[in-house]
Structure 1
């Protein structure tokens, strides 16, 4: 475990500092591996459930009947099944990060007014398909009360050892395929870590440029890499060594709780900011039809997203409020960001004396002239 963490951090350092020009190339191939993994596991589920396995077991939707499609946790009966559903919903909230990172590429892609709308539509469609179908498949290939699955999660099994798919493959006596899945899962984890180092360092760099982070973070190498931002993010990644002594499963749950709350708060802010942007457009007579991209069912979906994220943030650590489940560490990691966020927001306003801008005074046309000029004179770069 120790060696694996060291190798990963060193690899992130190499790609994000010395070989950043290969970042896009590496992510292309790693992303291709993730797509192959997702599609392959969906096909695996269908083929094996109809009898395409060494045992010839046509198990179909057997596990939806025995032990059932809803597991009971923290209680029994309908309440226990609802808590089980809620626990899964909280875990699913951890996976919402990703689509928002597409916007980070807007400043570096060619002809963003044309490219970005297509990217948004394709990304959400594919993510919805993979997430929904993937969740459906997990409930098909293994029962929720599988002892191997329970032991794998409680013991913090490394790699994909606790994967429902690997457990299913072992049950069906399928050889070699579990090793392939394990390798692809590890490559997907590497890709996620690599992307997060890049996105986190660039976000920090953007804050520094705007004066919202220390000025020394604006320093870049000759290749344009914000070196101190990358190093700071890599230093934070050293927290992963906690897994070596504290137990993979417990530390992972703590980090997942903090990150889940952060992501949900982030999305609630994005949704609320959009509602303010839309009102500013209306106040200044700017038609949404003139924008290069226009979301459907707005502002209703924005308010739905805002309310949903707030509710899920408050429910992030709900198990600690159930009798007999109180744990101070779990409460702390689940709700720390709920207190930190308003402290940072109002603290900044008090410290810097900033104020909420009126809708009529919001600058909706900043840099628009430059973007218009770029779009008019855009010439596609010839593929090399």
Structure 2
């Protein structure tokens, strides 16, 4: 930005001052076009936000998920830092892209929708435009490493979720099978099978197929957040009615319950606008409509079928009837034995300043 590049170009916020920036028009013109540009970007960004909540999946295999003040728990530390990760990697990342690359950059436009290589990355385009040699290849390597890491994480989470569903009787029993080391081998096999979809990148029509998959994943994730928000509202009400002190929790979210109602409102709105473009004059597409909203219909259909075939009641439990303590004794017993062992062994003696710094940073 200040000229520290091979071209000594102090471009600053130049890309924000060109015609149409920083809010370009999308579909329509004027204020409506600006609003739809923001809305379209938000819908696309909904896909990339998938993942932070999957930290909870690891809790079942963590030695010390809750922790104490002396021995901080892994889950408490991880969830406390989620907001900082989102700000650093998403907000600052988007800000960097907007500063580095103009919205009408020819390389960006020509590569958009190709879905076949990393040349469409705005970071790579920025390095090429600034004449920085070597960095584009490094960024490509970082993207590949990040993709591998993300794939590994999602394979782990999907296999564990499928295993949990099987043990609870909502998935075929075969997925309850584990190796002698406790690895759900069949669940991993199914998860790995879905990874073969990545081979579609090699096809010429990959962008359309990947676009449909992204739409399915986005719809699923936004709905997942809706259900999580509804579940949290029920949990919060139960905690309040049963006179449980939230200050005793190792992790307590901010501004509750107002923040969850605010979030739920916008999540429901997002579900409604995921495929809003098909309702605009001349834009109707049955494919776009189905892939944007099919997960909404599918989730409702599955819920109804489950209730009908399992003959369970359609009702919400009252806050005072919600069971918040079953299994707590086992957790507390495990923690007592775990911390007693640490005390006897004399380790760890708290966390070093470096580890505490990284806990705060990441």
Q: Same fold (TM over 0.5)?
A: yes
* Structure 1 unaligned regions, length at least 5: 1-48
How far has the Cα of 1:297 moved from its partner?
A: 0.6
Cα 1:154–1:368 change in 2 (3 A) is closer
Q: 1:354 aligned to 293, 302, 312, which one?
A: 312
Aligned partner of 1:179 among 126, 137, 149: 137
Shift of 1:188: 0.7
- What RMSD, in angstroms, separates the aligned Cα atoms of the two structures? 1.7
1:218 aligns with 2:170: no
Q: How does 1:70-219 map to 2 (within 5 A)?
A: 70-114=23-67, 115=73, 116-158=75-117, 160-219=118-177
CA pair 359-305 structure 1, distance change in 2 beyond 3 A: same
The CA deviation string for residues 185-225 of structure 1, in whole angstroms up to 9 with x for no partner, is 01111111111111101100000000010111101122221
**2:4 corresponding residue in structure 1:** 52
Matched, 1:65 2:25: no
Higher helix share: 1
Other-structure match for 1:365: 325
Q: Report how far residue 141 of structure 1 moved.
A: 0.4
Q: 1:258 aligns with which of 198, 207, 216?
A: 216
Match of 1:299 in 2: 257
Segments of 5+ residues of structure 2 without an aligned counterpart are: 68-72, 349-362
SS at match of 2:103: coil
Give the match for residue 352 of structure 2.
none
1:50-80 Cα offsets, whole Å, 9 max, x none, are 1011111110000111031111111122111
Contact 2:23–2:34, Cα closer than 8 Å, also in 1: yes
Quote the residue 1:376 is aligned against: 336
Q: After superposing the two structures, state which structure 1 stretch, 311-320 or 139-148, moved more.
A: 311-320
In structure 1, C-alpha distance between the alignment counterparts of 2:47 and 2:203, rounded to whole Å: 24
Counterpart of 1:107 in 2: which secondary structure? helix
Q: Separation in 1 of the partners of 2:113 and 2:332?
A: 56
Secondary structure of the structure 2 residue equivalent to 1:347: helix
Partner of 2:359: none
Provide the rounded CA distance (Å) in 1 between the counterparts of 2:6 and 2:250. 53
Aligned length: 334
**Equivalent residue, structure 2, for 1:283:** 241
3-state DSSP of counterpart to 2:82: helix
Q: Distance between the aligned counterparts of 1:188 and 1:376, measured in 2?
A: 38
1:241 to partner: Cα distance: 3.3
Range with bigger deviation, 197-206 or 105-114:
105-114
Point out which structure has higher relative CO (alpha carbons under 8 A, 6+ apart). Answer: 1
Please state whether the residue corresponding to 1:330 is helix, strand or coil.
Answer: helix
Match of residue 9 from structure 1: none
Please state how far the C-alpha of 1:271 moved relative to its aligned partner. 0.9
How far off its partner does 1:170 sit? 1.1
Report the Cα distance in structure 1 between the residues aligned to 2:173 and 2:297, rounded to whole angstroms: 26
- The answer (yes or no) to whether the contact 1:74–1:322 under 8 Å persists in 2 is no
Whole-angstrom CA distance in 1 between matches of 2:30 and 2:181: 60
* Structure 1 match to 2:200: 242
Contact 1:153 1:249 in 2 (8 A): no
TM-score by length of 2: 0.88
8 Å CA contact 1:279–1:359 kept in 2: the answer is: yes
Which residue of structure 1 aligns with residue 185 of structure 2? 227
- Greater Cα offset, 355-364 or 196-205: 355-364
